[in-house]
């Protein structure tokens, strides 16, 4: 065994993602991983990509 499970940290992270405590406790391990792991192969958007999105979808402001 490698140590205690950080339940408090995990519950706070779930709350930050909008998951209520009742929903958190119903999550399977697979669902938890899908919510919290970074998408594989996805890179952060760069400035050029953001500029293209802003041009394509202006907010009308």
49 inside domain: no
Please say if the pLDDT value at position 61 is more than 70.
no
How far apart CA 52 and CA 50 sit, in angstroms, is: 5
Nearby residues of 24 by Cβ (< 8 Å), 6 or more positions away = 10, 11, 14, 15
Question: Residue 2's pLDDT is what?
Answer: 72
In the chain, the number of structural domains is: 1
Q: Tell me the average pLDDT across 10-19.
A: 92
Q: For residue 23, give its domain range.
A: 1-39
45 inside domain: no
pTM of this prediction?
A: 0.55
56 inside domain: no
pLDDT in tens, 25-54: 999 999 998 888 877 776 788 999 999 999
30 inside domain: yes
Q: Tokens 């519950």 belong to which residue?
A: 11
């Amino acid at each position: 065994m490698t140590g205690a499970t950080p339940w408090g940290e995990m519950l706070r992270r779930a709350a930050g993602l909008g998951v209520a405590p009742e929903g958190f406790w119903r999550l399977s391990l697979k669902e938890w991983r899908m919510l919290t792991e970074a998408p594989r192969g996805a890179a952060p958007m760069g400035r050029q990509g953001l500029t293209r999105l802003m041009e394509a979808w202006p907010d009308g402001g």
